[in-house]
């Protein structure tokens, strides 16, 4: 150090600071009692050859690659019609913060908790369905998607058939691919799944599991008609099959009273899934699955194998949130905001005559639009991206061949002003494709 002080006419403090910084960067190293030495020069990084993974990985994909972008955080200049989550203006972040603070005061939450979930939270989910359900009838999962994957792996063997509405939520199709089961589409219309075709599908495939969203189905927004509900249950009973009822949007009905869940009509046959994520924020991954009989024992065991324990702090945060006096006010405000956005979208669509709104969504997040036969959904997605708009192509929502050209627009992540701007940009994107074809 003396030599450096003399050479550079610097103080000992300055020289010591420089040596410390060079040491941190790995350029020099020190040996106590011996001095400071220059490190060996770093060799240039060699490119890692990972081509062997292509050969080793199985050919079966566990996800839809075209949907991967929809889960990425949208850019600041992007209008996210494809994002199926609430934007920050609708998320109850202040309520979540207070709930998390209250949950953090309980040191016991860092210990071992029941694998099936906190009893108080299971009691809450059971009560949301019916007073006839008990905590023992509920299993808590870290989000609805995990629950779906666990259900398929627990109830079906690889290659077994799973009946789904067509179109249906692409998350169940991804879960089916992950579980190695075969999805069998059953056509649906504006009144939900068609019972006569469902009965035929059960007979031809001998399927033992059906997945449906009877209320504000994603992507179409359809509500299963009353006269079809009993027919659906009868078809499943004749086949000795289970039904997964995904009731993600019960609290998001804009007008009137939502119909009674299927689970209340057939408690032993229907596995009832309800998530808090769509009502709050993407980070609150909490869902409750309710059911009756030996099937629940199997699901509890599967839940334990997956991760032993689920975050009790997150569960308690969810419980503090939904049992607070502010929870119902949040839901009321959320419904009003989403209804305003839906109305704005429907109004703006009058300026985009090339597309057709299949039917007016009376709840939920989504509008399902039919494109002209000459306009590809994938081509429109790419053209929209160039205009700074993210949207969902319709094709990934079909388990089989798409029954036309469609796109899904979500109004959950886009405020009224951006909705109007987004439709204007989509008009431009449509015209650009038309001019190219011309």
Count other C-beta atoms under 10 Å from residue 174's C-beta: 19
Q: How confident is the model at residue 89 (pLDDT cuts 50, 70, 90)?
A: very high
Cα(365)–Cα(384) distance, rounded to whole angstroms?
Answer: 20
Cα(237)–Cα(239) distance, rounded to whole angstroms?
Answer: 5
Q: 194 lies in a domain?
A: yes
- Average pLDDT (141-165) is 95
Cα(422)–Cα(418) distance, rounded to whole angstroms?
Answer: 6
Cα(143)–Cα(147) distance, rounded to whole angstroms?
Answer: 7
Q: Which of 322, 344, 375 is the last residue of a domain?
A: 322
Asked which of 100-104, 106-110, 416-420 is least confident by mean pLDDT, the reply is 106-110
pLDDT tens profile 185-197:
999 999 999 999 9
Strand residue runs (E) in 83-190: 138-141, 161-166, 182-189
- Average pLDDT (30-36) is 74
Q: 385 lies in a domain?
A: yes
Between these two residues, 114 and 216, which has the higher pLDDT value? 216
Nearest to 84 by CA among 144, 139, 128, 142: 144
As for how many domains the chain has, the answer is 3
How is residue 120 written in tokens? 């108080």
Per this entry, what is the length of the chain?
438
Range of the domain at 384: 65-90+327-437
Nearest to 363 by CA among 422, 278, 274, 289: 278
73 and 110 inside one domain: no
Q: Which of 283, 307, 322 is the last residue of a domain?
A: 322
The predicted model scores a pTM of 0.85
The overall average pLDDT reported for the chain is 89
188 and 310 inside one domain: yes
Burial 132-159 (b: 16+ CB within 10 A, else e): ebebebbbbbbbbbbbbbbbbbbbbeee
In this structure, what are the phi and psi dihedrals at residue 108, rounded to the nearest 5 degrees? Answer: -70, -15
- Residue 235, pLDDT above cutoff 90: yes
- Residue 1, pLDDT above cutoff 80: no
Give the CATH number, domain containing residue 241: 3.40.640.10
């Amino acid at each position: 150090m003396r030599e450096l002080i003399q050479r550079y006419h610097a103080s000992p403090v300055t020289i010591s600071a420089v040596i410390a910084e060079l040491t941190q960067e790995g350029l020099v190293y020190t040996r106590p009692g011996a001095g400071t030495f220059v490190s060996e020069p770093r060799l240039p990084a060699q490119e890692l050859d990972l081509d062997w993974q292509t050969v080793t990985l199985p050919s079966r994909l566990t996800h839809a690659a075209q949907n991967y972008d929809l889960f990425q955080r949208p850019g600041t200049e992007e209008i996210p019609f494809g994002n199926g989550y609430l934007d920050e203006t609708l998320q109850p972040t202040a309520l979540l913060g207070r709930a998390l603070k209250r949950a953090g005061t309980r040191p016991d939450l860092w210990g071992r908790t029941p694998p099936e979930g906190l009893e108080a939270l299971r009691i809450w989910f059971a009560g949301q369905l019916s007073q006839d359900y008990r905590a023992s009838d509920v299993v808590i999962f870290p989000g609805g998607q995990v629950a779906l994957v666990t259900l398929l792996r627990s109830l079906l063997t690889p290659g077994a058939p799973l009946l789904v509405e067509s179109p249906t939520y692409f998350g169940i199709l991804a879960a089916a691919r992950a579980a190695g089961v075969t999805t069998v589409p059953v056509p649906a219309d504006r009144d939900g799944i068609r019972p006569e075709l469902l009965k035929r599908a059960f007979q031809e495939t001998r399927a033992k599991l059906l997945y449906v969203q009877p209320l504000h189905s994603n992507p179409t927004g359809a509500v299963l008609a009353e006269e079809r509900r009993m027919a659906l249950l009868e078809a499943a009973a004749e086949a000795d099959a289970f039904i997964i009822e995904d009731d993600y949007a019960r609290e998001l009905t804009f007008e009137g009273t939502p119909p009674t869940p299927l689970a209340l009509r057939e408690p032993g046959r229907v596995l009832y899934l309800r998530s808090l994520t769509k009502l709050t924020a993407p980070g609150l991954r909490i869902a409750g699955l309710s059911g009756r009989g030996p099937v629940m024992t199997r699901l509890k065991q599967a839940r334990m194998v997956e991760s032993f324990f689920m975050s009790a702090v997150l569960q308690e945060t969810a419980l503090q949130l939904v049992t607070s006096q502010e929870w119902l006010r949040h839901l009321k405000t959320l419904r009003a905001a989403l209804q305003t956005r839906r109305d704005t979208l429907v109004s703006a669509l009058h300026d985009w005559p090339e597309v057709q709104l299949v039917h007016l969504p009376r709840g939920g997040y989504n509008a399902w639009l039919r494109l002209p036969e000459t306009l590809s959904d994938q081509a429109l997605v790419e053209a929209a991206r160039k205009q700074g708009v993210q949207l969902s192509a319709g094709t990934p929502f079909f388990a089989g061949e798409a029954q036309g050209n469609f796109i899904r627009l979500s109004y959950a992540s886009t405020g009224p002003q951006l909705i109007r701007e987004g439709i204007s940009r989509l008009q431009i994107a449509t015209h650009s494709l038309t001019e190219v074809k011309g």
